[in-house]
Chains A and B, each alone.
Chain A
Amino acid sequence: MAEAIAQLVHDGDSVAIEGFTAFICFAAGHEIVRQGRRDLTLIRMTPDALYDQMIAAGVASRLVFSYLGNPGVGPLHCIRRAVEQQLPRPLEVEEYSHGGMVARYLAGASGLPFYPLRSYVGTDLPRVNPRIKFISDPYGAGEVAVVPPLRPDVAILHAQRADVEGNTHLWGLVGVQKEVAFAARKVIVVVEELVDAAVIQSDPNRTLIPGLIVDALVVEPFGAHPSYVQGYYDRDNEFYLEWDRVSRDPATTSAWLDEWVFGVRDRAQYLAKLERSTLDRLRPGSRPAAAVDYGDYR
């Protein structure tokens, strides 16, 4: 992980660590903080506790997003402090709705100059974000909102498993992982398990990201904690509730970063620090899919 971040994430880059509640690669975000990156543009539909931590640590000067909350819990206090009080430093925001972010990724991923969507009519979002525009439908059906392509310098995407070429299987909440991967200039894939190519090829429908567009592959078990990986571990809701308390105060936030980010060398040390009971608590029961038969054709 340290090597992938050192090589591919630079000061001033735009970085998208995506995953809708699931598959959020906290391990990568923490490594970026440890390596002291500055002036990043952080991109995520739902910044989540991870970007709250990264912004508290001062790595970002800009945030592109569509929903600023601690899911199911409340506000993201560190980002609120940055926006409301410019602490620890000012944070420029570029705001969309979910549909708008999805459309931006789609445009970026498919090489289009913009992407149309049914949204923003009658709202104040285009007033505060001039990149949201309306154009006249060339086929005569009135006005439609458009958004420009989004092409992050680096995308970091977590998933269950990949082969050594980076061909990646993902199941569960698919989110925008595929679109972000195709939209980004560089892609880091982080997986729970490295598997043989034969495993990937046994179920090609499950391959969301082809190795073709992957620049670095990192194997990092539990790398998404306190987010989750379907079938591998549960979302650590207790952590998200705890983060609400920790993040209310800049001092307790700094202490948390010192202990859990700066105070550990890597994710392995972070896991060693987590209580055994936490990992046990997050292990789900088993609910396998029925096997499918692709057929043997020769």
Chain B
Amino acid sequence: MIAVSPTEQMIVSAARALAGVRTVFVGVGMPNVACNLARLTVAPDLELIYESGVYGARPARLPLSIGDPTLVTGSTSTVAMADLFGLYLQAGHVDVAFLGGAQVDRFGNLNTTVIGDYAHPKVRLPGSGGAAEIATSARRLFIMMRLSNRSFVSKLDFVTSPGHLTGGDARARAGLAGAGPELVVTDLALFDFANMEREMQLVSLHPGVTREHVRDAVGWDLREGPAVAETPPPTAEELRLLREELDPKGLYSRG
């Protein structure tokens, strides 16, 4: 058996977090693989919603883009953009959504817009896409990003999508409908926000990863949950599905 890669651990951890979930707003890349893995394992009733305007997708191949035609064929419904953002997302029919970004802060706010100053950016990033609305209205938000102190920063260069804002009950006071970030899945560890301050806290280390390694990769003084567990490694069946069925070329799962 080939050793489990950090990315495989990440995808499997994200898939398991979808246990029992009904609707998920899927992102392309790793979240896409994770959502499809969940549908084959812990969440057989999971409906995949893609930002391109598909509800109940049943992709016959792993799509490169979120607008791939395989997502349309055999889906339950195609959905016009106005309906996707209005009737599905804003009205509260998205149980879980995945987001990532170039930067995340301790309250789960995300930056996908610029590194540096907006008017004279050092790096111009893609921008919001649907992320601002997803972060506002999805009932629960899972963040999926590789852990590094370039991305886990004490202050964002730009807030593209709202997390728990300044922490505590700031999000509820601002009138945001969704519950906000609940889980952060990385290649080294898992984090949640289950404290009064709604601050990201370490809850689980992937096998072989040390606290020190994780602390070094976070750009602020990292908080720990009441207990820090070891993440259960992928089962043989999860690895088989991942390697043989979902991503046989290893486009998203290797490394």
Contact = CB atoms under 8 A, between A and B. Distances in A.
B81 interface: yes
A122 B109 contact: yes
Contact of A71 (B66, B80, B122, B161): B66
Interface in B79-105: 79-82, 85-86, 89-90
Contact of A125 (B64, B90, B128): B128
Contacts of B195: none
Which residue among B78, B79, B80, B121 has the maximum number of chain A CB atoms within 10 Å of its CB?
A: B80
Given A123-B159, A174-B81, A96 B128 contact: yes
B2 interface: no
Interface in B126-151: 126-133, 136-137
A65 B67 contact: no
Interface stretch (A3-11, A228-236, A259-267): A228-236
B170 to A, nearest CB: 8
A97 B131 contact: yes
Interface residues of B, number: 56
Interface residues of A, number: 55
B113 A124 contact: yes
Interface stretch (A150-158, A175-183, A185-193): A175-183
A237 interface: yes
A102 B69 contact: no
B81 A98 contact: yes
| B contact face: mostly helix, strand, loop, or mixed | loop
A51 interface: no
Given A123-B159, A128-B118, A235-B68, A176 B82 contact: yes
A280 interface: no
Contact of B73 (A80, A96, A122, A287): A287
B183 interface: no
Contacts of B85: 98-99, 102, 117
Nearest to A127: B118
Contacts of B67: 20-22, 71, 173, 235
B28 interface: yes
A145 to B, nearest CB: 9
A67 interface: yes
B224 to A, nearest CB: 26
A168 B127 CA distance: 32
B196 interface: no
A210 B200 CA distance: 51
Interface string A225-257: 000101000110100100000000000000000
A287 B89 CA distance: 29
Interface stretch (B9-17, B33-41, B47-55): B47-55
A204 interface: no
A142 interface: yes
B227 interface: no
Nearest to A285: B73
Contacts of B30: none
Interface in A132-181: 142-143, 171-176, 178-179
A106 interface: yes
24 contacts: A22-B67, A68-B126, A69-B129, A72-B28, A72-B66, A73-B64, A98-B51, A98-B133, A102-B81, A105-B82, A106-B82, A118-B133, A119-B132, A121-B175, A122-B165, A122-B171, A123-B159, A123-B162, A128-B118, A175-B80, A176-B80, A228-B69, A230-B73, A287-B74
Interface of B: 28-29, 51-54, 63-69, 72-74, 78-82, 85-86, 89-90, 109, 113, 118-119, 121-133, 136-137, 158-162, 165, 170-171, 174-177
